[in-house]
């Protein structure tokens, strides 16, 4: 949902063949919600599963069709719709630049501002179903692929991309098959984009991981808070939600991902560069600290520092109590367990 517009996927709708899929659009008015449009792919086919995933931001709707066969069986695709004069129209069909069969591109999609990401957990670049996430950026009215995201430590059956969340410059990706803490315990990868490229900030696992937990089967974020679901929890079918929060260690209003020195409130992206003090005051390498002769004086630059200081100042939160931050904390976690309905 975005504003007063709601988009709902129906991936098994059969208008263009069994399982071709559809998306329904509703608007909220004075008397409640009213269906205003039904979206289908311009080249919809049987089994495309258009509407398996959907996201909306303002006047843009993106729809995943993981069964699309354009470049082989179950290649997958992402469709873009723009609203013009009150009507949603398809403007693009996105395919991975290295599309192959069985990628399932579009099984999950996420849209925030000019950034669009889509999972392809079937990608086998680093092993069968190791997974990948593709990123696009909006420029001159069209989305262009900007990146293929694969962490260095993913392997066969990790299913990186099984869950996605994107908001306010934070990207969270679930890899439910990750085995770092036991078979299929799962992991959540957190990315930030200080420039044009998504860069891994950290990798999270449950503090009390158990085998077959499916941690990160679902994720959500608003940029400052994050929830990671573990829906199996050791196949006990109990289920847990882990809550993570970021803190601003120096209290200047800039979280650690964008503040190149989060231990000094006089250094952040909102400050003006002070020449010749040996510090990158504005966290911008394009305005370096220099001498009168133009020589770089050796102050910190903004690009790499957030990763050096990210271990400082993030407190872990659990429901009911707080604990002191540990040196390794960046995102911090709490857990809420709710029995699964029978």
Helix, strand, coil percentages (3-state) for the chain, rounded to 5, are: 0, 40, 60
Mean local confidence (pLDDT), 272-286: 89
- DSSP-derived pairing of the beta strands 199-204 and 215-221: unpaired
CA-atom Rg of the chain in angstroms: 22
Contact 176, 183 (CB under 8 A): no
pLDDT at res. 306: 30
pLDDT at res. 342: 38
Q: How far apart are CA 133 and CA 123, in angstroms?
A: 9
Q: Which of 81, 111, 75, 72 is nearest to 95 (CA)?
A: 75
Q: What is the strand order of the sheet 77-84 is part of?
A: 53-57, 60-65, 77-84, 87-94
Quick check: 53 pLDDT over 90? yes
Q: How far apart are CA 190 and CA 228, in angstroms?
A: 11
Mean local confidence (pLDDT), 280-287: 88
pLDDT at res. 208: 86
pLDDT at res. 328: 36
Helix (H) or strand (E) holding 241: strand 240-245
Nearby residues of 122 by Cβ (< 8 Å), 6 or more positions away = 74, 76, 102, 103, 104, 129, 131
pLDDT at res. 303: 35
- Burial readout 295-314 (b: 16 or more C-beta within 10 A, e: otherwise): eeeebbbbeebbbebbebbb
Whether the CA torsion 290, 295, 298, 300 is positive or negative: it is positive
Q: At CA 245, angle to CA 239 and CA 248, rounded to 5?
A: 175
Quick check: 286 pLDDT over 70? yes
- Can you list the domains of the chain with their CATH numbers? 5-245 (2.130.10.130), 252-313 (no CATH)
What's the token pair of residue 129?
Answer: 């179903």
Quick check: 289 pLDDT over 60? yes
Strand partners, 148: 134
Model confidence band, residue 314 (pLDDT cutoffs 50, 70, 90):
very low
pLDDT at res. 233: 53
CA 87 to chain centroid, in Å, comes to 28
pLDDT tens, residue by residue, 93-130: 999 999 999 999 999 999 999 999 999 999 999 999 99
Q: How far apart are CA 277 and CA 271, in angstroms?
A: 14
pLDDT at res. 114: 95
Question: For residues 210 and 85, which has the higher predicted lDDT (pLDDT)?
Answer: 85
Neighbours of 87 (CB within 10 A): 10
Model confidence band, residue 291 (pLDDT cutoffs 50, 70, 90):
low
What's the token pair of residue 219?
Answer: 């994720």
- Burial readout 268-286 (b: 16 or more C-beta within 10 A, e: otherwise): bbebebeeeeebbbbbebe
Q: What is the strand order of the sheet 115-119 is part of?
A: 109-112, 115-119, 133-139, 142-149
Contact 258, 269 (CB under 8 A): yes
Least confident among 36-45, 215-224, 332-341: 332-341
Q: What is the mean pLDDT of the chain?
A: 84
Concatenate the DSSP letters of all residues of 270-295 into one string.
Answer: TSPP-TTSSS-TTS-TTS--B-TTS-
Q: What percent of the chain has pLDDT over 70?
A: 83
pLDDT at res. 302: 35
């Amino acid at each position: 949902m975005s504003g007063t517009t709601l988009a709902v996927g129906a991936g098994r709708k059969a208008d263009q063949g069994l399982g071709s899929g559809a998306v329904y659009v509703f608007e909220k008015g004075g008397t409640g919600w009213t269906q205003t449009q039904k979206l289908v792919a311009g080249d919809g086919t049987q089994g495309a599963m258009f509407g398996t995933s959907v996201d909306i931001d303002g006047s843009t709707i993106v729809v995943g069709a993981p069964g699309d066969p354009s470049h082989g069986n179950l290649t997958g695709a992402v469709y873009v719709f723009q609203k013009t004069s009150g009507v949603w129209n398809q403007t693009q069909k996105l395919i991975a630049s290295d599309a192959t069969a069985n990628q399932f591109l579009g099984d999950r999609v996420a849209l925030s501002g000019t950034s669009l990401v889509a999972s392809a957990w079937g990608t086998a670049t680093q092993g069968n179903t190791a997974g990948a996430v593709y990123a696009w950026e909006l420029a001159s009215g069209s989305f262009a692929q900007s990146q293929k995201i694969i962490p260095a430590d993913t392997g066969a059956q990790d299913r990186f991309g099984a869950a996605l969340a994107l908001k306010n410059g934070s990207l969270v990706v679930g890899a439910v098959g990750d085995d770092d803490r036991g078979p299929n315990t799962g992991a959540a990868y957190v990315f930030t984009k200080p420039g044009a490229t998504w860069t891994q900030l950290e990798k999270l696992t449950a503090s009390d991981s158990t085998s077959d937990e499916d941690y990160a089967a679902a994720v959500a974020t608003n940029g400052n808070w994050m929830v990671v679901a573990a829906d199996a929890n050791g196949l006990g079918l109990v289920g847990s939600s882990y809550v993570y929060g970021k803190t601003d260690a120096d209290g200047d209003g800039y979280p650690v991902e964008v503040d190149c020195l989060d231990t000094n409130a006089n250094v952040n992206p909102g400050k003006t560069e002070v020449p010749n003090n040996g510090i990158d005051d504005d966290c911008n390498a394009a305005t370096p600290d220099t001498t009168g002769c133009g020589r770089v004086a050796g102050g910190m630059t903004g690009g790499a520092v957030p990763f050096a200081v990210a271990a400082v100042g993030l407190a872990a939160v659990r429901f009911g109590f707080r604990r002191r931050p540990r040196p390794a904390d960046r995102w911090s976690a709490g857990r809420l367990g709710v029995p699964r309905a029978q």
